Amino acid sequence: MFFGNPSPGFGLATDNVFLQGGIIANTGSIGGIELESSKLYIGAGTHANSNTGFYVDSGSNFSLGDKLTWDGSSLTVRGQLRLESGENVQDAINEATASNTAKSLILTVDSQVMSFVSASSNDAIPSNIIFSIAQQNLTASISSSNVTITTAQGTGVTGFNFDTGSVTSNSAGLYSGVVSGSLTFANAIDAGGLANTKANFPVTIETSGDGLTDTVSVFKLEGGSSGSDGTSGTDGVDAVTAFLTNESHTFPADVNGNISSFAGGSTSMKVFQGITDVTTNYTYTGSNTNGVTATSSSNAITVTGLTVDSGSITFTAVSASTSLSKILSLAKSKQGSQGDPGSTAKLITLTTDSQVFSFPSASSSDAIDDDILFIIINKISFYLQL
């Protein structure tokens, strides 16, 4: 039977049909999937409609009922999208953007105490307390009316200094930034102070806004009177110190780094407990860096080789649980390479056979030697004659 035609006149009638090659059909139904020219569907065959559970055609239209539709340029989803974890997409977006609108209100002070050197002193250190309020994403900027300062007597402190600071609002009209104020010990209660009265401690500073509240307390500290001297402690143990008689040495070397003599490249380690020399009570070991060779004898060490430009030897003294280490630093001072020859030197020298003209008297114009010979090194002679 052909699809849609109960009397086709011919066809295949059997339980199973096996065909080889391609089948071309313009209409039909296979397992509930309807076939028409250029489209497949399940249901009524209407794109983006709840009466058609599945639809696709050659015009790039696709739909799953009316919940997910594609018209060739736009995708529309009606309902919730869920991630693999089961969380829906909207909840995930809300969670990711929550920090952009989260509200916070934090109150801090630069000191939580005012201290006094004694019970009789009224000189507070510090003399004033600065409080700062950091707000984020509140519907209004925190002002002095949002701050309450209360003494231990239950009295409210008013008239305190307040700075609106650097609060700004964002595109959503939410305010963020920092404001600050101050509380003094000496000022009157209605001028932001504690009226020089220690009984007002502890003082509570509270701020609130948008249902958020933060509180800080400021306390009093007083110095006590001097007590009697305690008993003397037991004598301490003398400190143990160590030093090297030569803590660094530089060897002269030629331009290639060859050292001609290792004279002076030695050191001894001395150990003192307090002012007592206890060198002989210790044993000594040395540890060389690469390129350094040396010989040791008791607390002395002598460098015998240095194949690198610099190195060191760590000399350690040990006695029971005490271990002391010192470092001998070594280096080469290399001769510089020979420079290029200089240009031929030039010299001009001028000499004379006399540097004076002599006259018998101030009124005389008769020079005793009326000519002076001066000579230049190019062997040309000139005469200066009066």
Claim to verify: residue 124 and residue 209 sit in the same structural domain: yes
Claim to verify: residue 133 and residue 213 sit in the same structural domain: yes
Residue 314: in which H helix or E strand, if any? strand 310-319
Structural domain ending residue among the three candidates 170, 192, 222? 222
For the question of whether the overall pTM of this predicted structure is more than 0.85, the answer is: no
The pair of three-digit structure tokens given for residue 364, joined into one six-digit string: 């005389």
Q: What is the domain range of residue 245? A: 240-334
Nearest to 223 by CA among 129, 151, 125, 128: 125
Please write the tens of the pLDDT for every residue from 5-47: 566 555 666 677 777 777 777 788 888 899 998 999 999 999 9
Claim to verify: residue 61 and residue 111 sit in the same structural domain: no
Beta strands at 322-334 and 248-253: parallel, antiparallel or unpaired? parallel
Claim to verify: residue 40 and residue 71 sit in the same structural domain: yes
Evaluate whether residue 233 is within a structural domain.
no
Claim to verify: residue 113 and residue 212 sit in the same structural domain: yes
Evaluate whether residue 344 is within a structural domain.
no
Task: Supply angle C-alpha 282, 327, 321, rounded to 5.
Answer: 35
Evaluate whether residue 342 is within a structural domain.
no
Evaluate whether residue 97 is within a structural domain.
no
Evaluate whether residue 255 is within a structural domain.
yes
Nearest to 186 by CA among 145, 119, 129: 129
Claim to verify: residue 131 and residue 191 sit in the same structural domain: yes
Task: Assign 3-state DSSP to the chain and report helix, strand, coil percentages, each to 5.
Answer: 5, 45, 50
Claim to verify: residue 113 and residue 209 sit in the same structural domain: yes
Asked if 299 contacts 270 with a C-beta cutoff of 8 angstroms, the reply is yes
Count of domains forming the chain: 4
Compare 78 and 200 and report the one with higher pLDDT.
200
Residue 137's CATH number: 2.60.40.10
- The CA distance from 251 to 333, in Å, is 6
Nearest to 114 by CA among 221, 5, 36: 221
Q: Concatenated DSSP letters for 147-212?
A: EEEE-TTSPEE-S--EE-TT-EE-TTS-EEEEEEEEEESSS-GGGTB-TT-GGG-SEEEEEEETTE
Asked if 126 contacts 231 with a C-beta cutoff of 8 angstroms, the reply is no
Please write the tens of the pLDDT for every residue from 229-282: 889 998 888 899 999 999 999 999 998 999 989 998 999 999 999 889 999 999
